[in-house]
Structure 1
Amino acid sequence: MKIATFNINGIKARIDALTGWLTESQPDVACLQEIKSVDENFPRQHFEDMGYTVETHGQKSFNGVAILSRLPLEDVTRGLPGDDGDEQARWIEATVMGEKPIRVCGLYLPNGNPAPGPKYDYKLAWMKRLKARAQALLIAEEPAIMCGDYNIIPQDEDAARPEAWRDDALAMQPSREAFREILNLGFTDAFRARTQGPGHYTFWDYQANAFDRNDGIRIDHHLLTPQAADLLNDCWIEAAVRGREKPSDHVPIWIDLAA
């Protein structure tokens, strides 16, 4: 089972690019972030005609997540537990019914800037709720992944210019510590399980020819429960997508599971 996570930066602006990528790359499951669309305006029929089951958790103009799957989806839930008053659409999960069922959680973690401030407080509070959901996934002792745009640069090697991010919410120490707390529960960072060293990024700013200079950061991640990690065949970043016409500022990152 090949699963990709991809922050598309707006379904309206990126539908042609997304369609071309889906046609060429053929993921079994695609978890999308920043669809920037309410559910009723998402082009569901377009992707259903391509053979995908479509589940969305949308929001007008901002945020929004979706799961597109060639395999059946069961037990779809929307919204990260722990705060009934949170109106931001940042979490969706479903069980993908492959040869081995996989619980797939797609997320768009808050950016948190400017930091310090209310937005950073929200980011850290959201990560506490994420940790609680991660603990519940571990207790279930089933294959599960949490994938998406984490807006976290885990280590300095995950940025081309780490010094430029020192005071940014994506790399501040509390952000990194919250991410490590989740990993230390027993999750595997799929990319780092397969590839070590600097120079591997999933996001490049639109400004200053960042992609051409490879001035990027790695902020899109697949975190796997032990049962999912046992199924991991490979993980890779599809960086070339960033060089295409009207690209997102993110690129897909893939896992291949024996499921």
Structure 2
Amino acid sequence: MKIATWNVNSLKVRLPHVLDWLAANQPDALCLQELKLEDKGFPVAELQAAGYNAVFNGQKTYNGVAILSPHPLEDVVRDIPGFSDEQKRIIAATVNGVRIVCGYFPNGQAVGSDKFEYKLRWLGALTEWLRAELTAHPRLVLGGDFNIAPEDRDAHPDWKDEIHVSAPERAAFTALTALGLVDAFRLYDQPERAFSWWDYRMGAFRRNFGLRIDHLLVSPALQPACRACTVDKAPRKLERPSDHAPVVLDLEV
């Protein structure tokens, strides 16, 4: 089973890239973030023609998440239950017995800002909900754009901004892993300075000035099934790319 996550930074703009990537990689589930479109504009027909079902939770101009799969998508949940939030950042579904939670985590803007406090509240609500989800669905994958580089090695050494690498954000990431979730990427030897996001400005991709903020966390029940986890940088090299690259997890389930 192949599960991937990708912040596409506008599905309308990046749809040709997504369709090409699906054809080349044939994932069993692809989590998408930052759709930047309302549900009525979601490209259901184009994805169905490519052989993919979709569930989605969209919002005009900002945010938005989706899960694509060639298999049935069951027991769908949109948003964090019990957490009042106008921003569309969560969708969950079960695919072939694996619970997949797709999240577009808040950016936070700057440490100490109102948006940063919202980010920490959101992370707290997500963690408590996932505690219950893991009880109901022991085989679970949490994928998405976390907007957190969990360790120093997940950020370029010259990254000076506190956001994405601050102690409170990293503590929130640790709270997720304390549920038993494991960062699949770190189960394997990886190249140094392996990132998943690079700014469009200042030749950041060419200079590999980036962050690893896109993650796939797996539950204890799934960890023995993990076989590989990689960042696919090829789509970032395309014309008009997303600033994120897909992260891909291979499971033997």
Question: What's the TM-score bracket when you normalise by the shorter of the two chains?
Answer: over 0.9
Q: Which amino acid aligns with 1:64?
A: G
In the TM superposition, 1:18-167 aligns within 5 A as: 18-83=18-83, 85-97=84-96, 101-140=97-136, 142-165=138-161, 167=162
- RMSD over equivalenced CA pairs, Å: 1.3
Q: CA deviation at 1:114?
A: 2.6
Separation of aligned partners in 1, 2:55 and 2:245: 21
User: Secondary structure of 2:115's match?
Assistant: helix
Separation of aligned partners in 2, 1:251 and 1:141: 28
Q: CA deviation at 1:72?
A: 1.1
Matched, 1:174 2:168: yes
**1:13-61 deviations in Å (ceiling 9; x for gaps):** 1111212211222212110000011111111110011100111100011
Separation of aligned partners in 2, 1:256 and 1:77: 24
Partner of 2:219: 225
**1:117-176 deviations in Å (ceiling 9; x for gaps):** 1100100000001111221133236210110000001011101135413x22x1111000
Q: Which amino acid aligns with 1:230?
A: P
Q: Quick check: 1:17–1:245 contact (8 Å CA) kept in 2?
A: no
Q: Quick check: 1:137–1:225 contact (8 Å CA) kept in 2?
A: no
**1:187-220 deviations in Å (ceiling 9; x for gaps):** 1100001135631100000001111111111000
Unaligned runs of 5+ in 1: none
Matched, 1:248 2:242: yes
Q: Quick check: 1:17–1:246 contact (8 Å CA) kept in 2?
A: no
Q: Quick check: 2:196–2:213 contact (8 Å CA) kept in 1?
A: yes
Segment of structure 1 superposing worse, 103-112 or 16-25: 16-25
Q: Quick check: 1:156–1:162 contact (8 Å CA) kept in 2?
A: no
Segment of structure 1 superposing worse, 11-20 or 62-71: 11-20
Q: CA deviation at 1:240?
A: 2.1
Q: Quick check: 2:110–2:116 contact (8 Å CA) kept in 1?
A: yes
User: Secondary structure of 1:233's match?
Assistant: strand
Separation of aligned partners in 2, 1:107 and 1:23: 23
Q: How many residues align?
A: 253
Q: Which amino acid aligns with 1:89?
A: K
Percent identical pairs in the alignment equals 43
1:160–1:79 distance in 2 versus 1, CA, 3 Å: same
Q: Quick check: 1:30–1:67 contact (8 Å CA) kept in 2?
A: yes
Candidates 194, 197, 209, aligned match of 1:200: 194
1:134–1:198 distance in 2 versus 1, CA, 3 Å: farther
Unaligned runs of 5+ in 2: none
Separation of aligned partners in 2, 1:16 and 1:239: 16
Q: Which amino acid aligns with 1:255?
A: L
Separation of aligned partners in 2, 1:126 and 1:48: 33
